[in-house]
Amino acid sequence: MAHKKRPKNRPPGKRSSKAPLASAAKPPTTPDGSPRTTNTVAARKTVPLKPAAAVAGDGAASSRRTYLIPDYRLERPEFRIFVAGEGSNLEYRIEGDLSAAAPPIRESKYLSRPQCIAIYRWILLNRRMEVALENLYKQGKVVGGVYLGLGQESCSCASAYALGPDDWLGPMIRNQGAMLVRGFNARDIMRQYMAKGDSPTWGRDASSHFGDWQRRNVCAPISMLGELIGVMAGVCLGARLQGKNVAGLTYVGDGGQSTGVTYESLNFAAVQKLGLVLIVENNLWGYSTPADLQFCVKDLAERAIAYGIPGIIVDGTDPCQVYDATHEACERARRGEGPTLIEAKMMRMKGHAIHDAAQYVPAKLFEYWRARDPIARFENYLVNVKRWLTAEENHKLIEDVERELEADRDAAVASPMPDPETDKTHQGVYCDPSCHTIKPKYGAVTARVREGGAAGPKAVEAAVHLK
Ligand SMILES: Cc1ncc(C[n+]2csc(CCOP(=O)(O)OP(=O)(O)O)c2C)c(N)n1
Ligand SMILES: [Mg+2]
């Protein structure tokens, strides 16, 4: 890791007054009053997000530093997956303590009762829609594959819920819950999977590969892992050129974050102080590769240190933690203070796609995360812990979601396939100057014209390039 330069006028060993006093080297000591489970740790006090700043030691140890990465989790599981056996007996095994009871939901600093209930509803709808999609696939009605976010619904829904009307979303294929929150309906998502003629892309593309840059501020998912990060950084830059700082929320997996474009895009966003909010969805698997074979850092949030931006860890199955971290990151983005990296730890509870039975995953790992199911835990929180929903209200809410979903599914199934006579699938692939105008969304574009006008590179730059 590159060493930070010491400000010229500060003697070695003197701590910067800007450096946070809390050191990551010290274990957290302040319980927040939440009940503990066996390996539940007291949550560190949440602190306003600042770039992961170095805390230098004194005297001779001044070259050693530790960094502050807030961790909102109420549980820090310690286990590792490793390869064992040989030849055809090769398998993944798991080592560590998997016996702890599930942690409680962490109380949100910002969410009100109706907001929590709204998020709960989105999470339920997300889950029920994916169950319906799985059934449609098994009935042979889906064209192509189905990619599910089972176990990750809290992360998708609660993060998108933190966006404001002028902010932007760049979902990945597992973030269908985020698309629901941003205003797409389950009917359209199901039509899209079945390649129906009235689906958002008229049957031209499969799965959740569609967006809406005109009304909902949503960029379509991009399959090439990491590429959305640069696109969302560009969205934030575009808005900035129009005089507005917006938050651009996107996601990348534990596997996808290893790509070069992740580094390039995040570094660009950091240097330009763009409002990118990147959630690294560490769901422990990238295809059949366990996270332990994908990277060596303990927590992916640590990567933020190298970009000079805030990094934060949340339990991705806890909607309150996800919301709080995303909300804080979005506020930072809107203040023009730059990007944030949020690592959401959770588990992909299905295979990579519906055709993958995930037999390579140790059964004990599924058991462990099944006990941390986002819906069951949030339901318990709302009904039994906070008493914000009575059993009857909860029952009614679930019934409403199911009724809505069934109507959406029936309508999607009844939708026509693309009609060869009026087929639109070949349209809208390329823009030509006559097809539409793209107007600035937030204001007139203002770009600084450098001295001497835009008449080519300065002599000194040209000289550098010619070397
Ligand atoms: C640049 C790039 N390399 C490889 C792939 C093929 N690929 C698609 S999904 C995937 C695994 C992704 O794992 P992860 O990023 O952890 O996301 P998850 O599926 O777990 O949500 C791979 C390797 C791709 N789409 N893009
Ligand atoms: Mg993954």
Domains and CATH numbers, the chain: 100-414 (3.40.50.970)
N-to-C CA span, the chain:
29
Question: Ligand 1 in contact with 112 (CB < 6 A)?
Answer: no
Q: What is the pLDDT of residue 424?
A: 73
CA distance 99 to 39: 9
Shortest-distance Cα residue to atom 25 of ligand 1: 224
CA of 349 to the centre of ligand 2 (A): 11
Q: What is the pLDDT of residue 449?
A: 65
Question: Ligand 1 in contact with 223 (CB < 6 A)?
Answer: yes
Q: What is the pLDDT of residue 460?
A: 56
Q: What is the DSSP letter of 218?
A: B
Question: Ligand 1 in contact with 174 (CB < 6 A)?
Answer: yes
Ligand 1, residues 148, 225, 280: which to mutate, most atoms within 8 A of Cβ?
A: 225
Question: Ligand 1 in contact with 76 (CB < 6 A)?
Answer: no
- Looking at the CA of residue 149, tell me the nearest atom of ligand 1: 21
Q: What is the pLDDT of residue 98?
A: 93
pLDDT in tens, 397-436: 999 999 999 999 999 999 999 987 777 777 777 777 777 7
CA of 354 to the centre of ligand 1 (A): 15
Q: What is the pLDDT of residue 325?
A: 98
Question: Ligand 1 in contact with 225 (CB < 6 A)?
Answer: yes
Which residues sit opposite 248 in a β-bridge?
168, 276
Q: What is the pLDDT of residue 461?
A: 56
- Looking at the CA of residue 283, tell me the nearest atom of ligand 1: 20
Structure-token pair, residue 119? 């998020």
In the block, tokens 């823009």 appear at 431
- Looking at the CA of residue 174, tell me the nearest atom of ligand 1: 21
Ligand lying nearest the CA atom of residue 253: 1
CA distance 189 to 181: 13
- 457 and 465 Cβ atoms separated by less than 8 Å: yes
CA distance 168 to 218: 6
Ligand lying nearest the CA atom of residue 251: 1
- 12 and 60 Cβ atoms separated by less than 8 Å: no
Where the chain has pLDDT below 70, the residues are: 1-49, 53, 55-61, 449-467
Question: Ligand 1 in contact with 224 (CB < 6 A)?
Answer: yes
Question: Ligand 1 in contact with 151 (CB < 6 A)?
Answer: no
Q: What is the pLDDT of residue 25?
A: 35
CA of 287 to the centre of ligand 2 (A): 7
Q: Percentage helix, strand, coil, to 5, in the chain?
A: 35, 10, 55
Ligand lying nearest the CA atom of residue 350: 1
- 43 and 32 Cβ atoms separated by less than 8 Å: yes
CA distance 267 to 306: 9
CA of 253 to the centre of ligand 2 (A): 5
- Looking at the CA of residue 294, tell me the nearest atom of ligand 1: 16
Question: Please, what sign has the CA dihedral across residues 312, 271, 159, 199?
Answer: negative
Question: Ligand 1 in contact with 147 (CB < 6 A)?
Answer: no
Q: What is the pLDDT of residue 206?
A: 80
- 143 and 199 Cβ atoms separated by less than 8 Å: no
Question: Ligand 1 in contact with 350 (CB < 6 A)?
Answer: no
CA of 120 to the centre of ligand 2 (A): 24
Question: Ligand 1 in contact with 104 (CB < 6 A)?
Answer: no
Ligand 1, residues 155, 156, 287: which to mutate, most atoms within 8 A of Cβ?
A: 287
Question: Ligand 1 in contact with 177 (CB < 6 A)?
Answer: no
Q: What is the pLDDT of residue 172?
A: 97
Shortest-distance Cα residue to atom 17 of ligand 1: 253
Q: Write out the residues surrounding ion ligand 2, Cβ under 5 A.
A: 253-254, 283, 286
pTM score? 0.86
Question: Residue type for 53, please?
Answer: A
